[in-house]
């Protein structure tokens, strides 16, 4: 990478927290919704290999949510992913994970802070204000002291109880750190984003996704300084332009079936796009609903939560039989995670055995 490389301007902001469950996802989804309501095209990103949050961010932005992971990706691949997706967007919103400095070791390797420095994105620090006032200033000051080179552009308070609490925290943070408090989201009634054992309920399984996203957009628009956050995003320096993608040499098109429904939704957009770039036509197949198998030349069985839907998957015997026959006859299959379990002899959930495809013992 040299100073002479062409660079592209992309306003961007990284949503970080002091710990997990601080409200990062709520703020990121709401900010994306508020920006889209103002007419901006938003490129959404999630730090780490997380499928679930990335899918929620993608639903909010109405474009694929992409993952940025310096542990799995080379630094250049991370910056090129942002630049490439941002080429058709007006602003990028990146959601961190866990606490700002939490990485794989005591040095914070591969942390959200490390990602922020890598993509040169100003950090909006989301702080859970439950039962705290001036101590919030101490925590924010500690973040500044731990990494003085990291640009924290402001603080957004979450779960604020009263107007007085907000004012005391705002004054304390401003005095101690010089940072603006760019919003205060009150304690919200109800559970907007229900969770289970591996995180949020997936966007494809949530019964009121559109209503939830609209509500969160309205919450952030009302309680956060969206314009000032956007101004901070615009101060991000230009990124190196992503190299032009080589024109794909498209063979005779093949049809690749993709298991995709409420039970199977864990796919990285880049993998699906790579298949399409190589000439594949993707054909969605729902193991929950479809009782016929479309004409496909290969099968991609991704991950998800088949254990949650084991009874219904098992009950769709016609599709299971068709898939078993085609796989036995030599249909090429790539299967991973829950998709691999679906290809197995059966799934035991809560002590009950549910027959599956049986292509694997």
Catalytic residue among 218, 283, 337, 344: 337
Are residues 51 and 36 in contact, defined by beta-carbon separation less than 8 angstroms? Answer: no
Annotation marks residue 143 as catalytic: no
The C-alpha atoms of residue 272 and residue 152 are separated, in whole angstroms, by 35
Beta bridge partners of 304: 264
Distance CA 305, CA 183 (A): 36
How many C-alpha atoms does 159 have within 13 Å on its Cβ side?
A: 16
Q: Alpha-carbon distance 247 to 249, whole Å? A: 6
313 in Cβ contact with 351 (< 8 Å): no
Contacts of 194 (CB under 8 A, 6+ apart): 200, 201, 206
Contacts 24+ apart (CB under 8 A), 244-250: 245/277, 248/277, 248/278, 248/279, 250/278, 250/279
Tell me the catalytic residues: 337
């Amino acid at each position: 990478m040299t100073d002479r490389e062409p660079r592209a301007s992309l306003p961007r902001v990284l949503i970080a927290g002091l710990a997990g469950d601080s409200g990062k996802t709520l703020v990121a989804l709401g900010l994306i919704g508020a920006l889209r309501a103002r007419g901006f095209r938003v490129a959404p990103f999630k730090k780490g290999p997380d499928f679930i949050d990335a899918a929620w961010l993608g639903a909010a932005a109405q474009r694929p949510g992409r993952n940025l992971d310096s542990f799995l990706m080379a630094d250049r691949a991370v910056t090129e992913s942002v630049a490439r997706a941002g080429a058709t967007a007006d602003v990028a919103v990146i959601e961190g994970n866990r606490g700002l400095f939490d990485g794989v070791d005591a040095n914070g390797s591969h942390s959200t802070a490390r990602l922020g420095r890598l993509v040169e994105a100003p950090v909006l620090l989301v702080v859970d204000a439950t039962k705290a006032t001036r101590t919030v200033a101490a925590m924010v000051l500690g973040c500044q002291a731990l990494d003085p080179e990291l640009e924290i552009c402001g603080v957004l308070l979450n779960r604020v109880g009263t107007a007085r609490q907000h004012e005391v925290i705002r004054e304390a943070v401003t005095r101690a750190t010089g940072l603006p408090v760019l919003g205060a989201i009150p304690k919200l009634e109800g559970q907007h984003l229900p969770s289970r054992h591996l995180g949020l309920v997936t966007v494809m399984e949530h019964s009121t996704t559109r209503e939830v996203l609209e509500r969160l957009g309205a919450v952030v628009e009302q309680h956060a300084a969206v314009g000032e956050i956007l101004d901070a995003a615009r101060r991000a320096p230009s990124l190196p332009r992503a190299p032009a993608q080589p024109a794909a040499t498209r063979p005779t098109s093949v049809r690749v079936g993709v298991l995709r429904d409420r039970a199977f939704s864990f796919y990285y957009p880049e993998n699906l796009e790579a298949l399409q770039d190589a000439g594949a036509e993707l054909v969605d197949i729902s193991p929950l609903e479809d009782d016929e198998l479309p004409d496909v030349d290969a099968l991609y069985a991704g991950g998800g939560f088949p254990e949650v839907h084991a009874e219904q998957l098992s009950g769709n015997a016609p599709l299971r039989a068709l898939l078993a026959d085609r796989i036995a006859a030599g249909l090429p299959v790539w299967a991973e995670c829950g998709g691999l379990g679906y290809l197995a002899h059966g799934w035991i959930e809560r002590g009950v055995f549910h027959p599956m495809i049986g292509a694997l013992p």
